[in-house]
């Protein structure tokens, strides 16, 4: 599997993959999880799917099988705009060196029990991307059960708030330290040898110099 980095700059290279990506999100977050109302479009798109969003899309034999979204916390993001009250330990994080990580999924037919190679590659690819972009922490609001996975990967986790129920699910805002060890642990723990991160077409920096200056 390859994990493709898709931004506003190179999305013209990924028209088919983006269609399948948002269709998969619709099937999972609208029909399976019931997090969103069905608007009839067949796609799950929210207010954070902007030109500033970066998507990592897992492609295997031409099929989109997984994906996730990353967004700079210097911009409006989910923990900031929707769940600011959950960051009751640190306040809402807004930093050019912290990325929000949301909307991670694996299509149902490729899901694994426990930590399998697909989950491992997603995690390793996220860490590799953040390393390349100078990101020091990545995370955001997440189901509490993900804490067990981060512990198994020996990731260092910094909670920004205390656990709380969101729509009947225990969630927490927390950020994981980005470093080579975190990336390598994700690979080693799942028996894979490569993060498979691929970037093609024009490059778009995750955080612009203007955004960095504003955040300072």
Residue 208, pLDDT score: 77
Mean pLDDT of the 74-88 span: 96
Looking at the domain assignment, is residue 52 inside a domain? Answer: yes
Give a yes or no: residue 115 inside a domain.
Answer: yes
115: left (phi over 0), alpha (psi -120 to 50) or beta: beta
Residue 212 lies in a domain: no
Cα dist from 158 to 18, 48, 148, 162, whole Å: 32, 23, 14, 11
- Asked which of 130-134, 159-163, 211-215 is least confident by mean pLDDT, the reply is 211-215
pLDDT at site 114: 81
Banded model confidence at residue 63, pLDDT cuts 50, 70, 90: very high
Residue 214 included in any domain: no
> What is the dihedral angle through the alpha carbons of 198, 97, 203, 1, rounded to the nearest 10 degrees?
10
Mean pLDDT of all residues belonging to the chain: 94
Rounded-to-integer distance, Cα 25 and Cα 32, Å: 10
Is 209 part of any domain?
A: no
Residue 138 · residue 130 · CB < 8 Å: yes
CATH assignment of the domain containing 14: 3.40.630.30
Res 209 pLDDT > 80: no
- Total domains present in the chain: 1
The HSE-up count of residue 65 (CA atoms within 13 Å, CB side) is 18
The pLDDT value given to residue 216:
61
**What would the pLDDT profile of 186-201 be if each residue is shown by its tens digit?**
999 888 999 999 999 9
* Full-model pTM: 0.94
Is residue 211, in this structure, part of any structural domain at all? no
| Predicted pLDDT of residue 40 | 85
Q: What percent of the chain has pLDDT over 70?
A: 97
Kindly report, residue by residue over 136-189, the tens digit of the pLDDT.
999 999 999 999 999 999 999 999 999 999 988 999 999 999 999 999 999 998
pLDDT of residue 213 exceeding 90, the answer is: no
**What pLDDT sits at residue 49?**
97
**What's the domain range around 79?**
2-202
């Amino acid at each position: 599997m390859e994990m493709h980095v898709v931004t506003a700059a190179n999305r013209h290279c990924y028209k088919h993959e983006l269609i399948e990506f948002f269709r998969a999100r619709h099937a999972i977050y609208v029909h399976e999880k019931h997090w969103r109302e069905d608007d009839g479009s067949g796609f799950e798109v929210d207010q954070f799917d902007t030109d500033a969003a970066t998507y990592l899309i897992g492609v295997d034999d031409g099929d989109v099988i997984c994906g996730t979204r990353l967004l700079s916390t210097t911009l409006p993001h989910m923990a900031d705009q929707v769940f600011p009250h959950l960051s009751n330990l640190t306040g809402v994080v807004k930093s050019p060196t912290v990325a929000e990580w949301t909307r991670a999924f694996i299509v149902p037919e490729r899901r694994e029990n426990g930590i399998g190679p697909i989950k491992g590659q997603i995690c390793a690819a996220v860490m590799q991307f953040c390393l390349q972009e100078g990101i020091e922490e990545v995370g955001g609001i997440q189901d509490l059960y993900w804490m067990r996975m981060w512990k198994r990967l020996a990731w260092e986790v910094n909670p920004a708030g205390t656990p709380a129920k969101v729509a009947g699910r225990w969630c927490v805002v927390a950020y994981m330290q980005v470093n080579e060890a975190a990336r390598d642990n994700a690979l080693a723990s799942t028996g894979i040898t490569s993060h498979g991160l691929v970037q093609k077409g024009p490059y778009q920096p995750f955080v612009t110099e203007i955004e960095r200056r504003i955040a300072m």
